[in-house]
Amino acid sequence: MDAKIIRYELDGRRLIQIDTMGSRDRKIPGKVSQSIQLDEHSARQLFEIMKDHFRFK
């Protein structure tokens, strides 16, 4: 799976968008399969999950 990470601001809010492209063998290569958008709150939640799971310090 390939992914592209886009960082941007919208209405004064910092956002991260992760677009996944699926496999290169798909019918339309490079077509976005999923987009995940994170604001500060959801990014912090994901970070806490990853920190706990991977034992980040």
1-44 pLDDT tens trace: 789 999 999 999 999 999 999 777 878 878 899 999 999 999 99
Question: Looking at the predicted structure, is the pLDDT value of residue 45 above 90?
Answer: yes
Q: What is the CATH number of domain 2-54?
A: 2.30.31
The pLDDT value given to residue 6: 98
The pLDDT value given to residue 57: 82
Can you read off the two tokens belonging to residue 52? 């706990």
The pLDDT value given to residue 48: 97
Judge residue 54's burial from the number of C-beta atoms within 10 Å of its C-beta, 0-12 exposed, 13-18 middle, 19 or more buried: exposed
The pLDDT value given to residue 19: 97
Task: Give the strands of the sheet with 34-38, arranged side by side.
Answer: 2-10, 13-22, 34-38
Question: Looking at the predicted structure, is the pLDDT value of residue 54 above 90?
Answer: yes
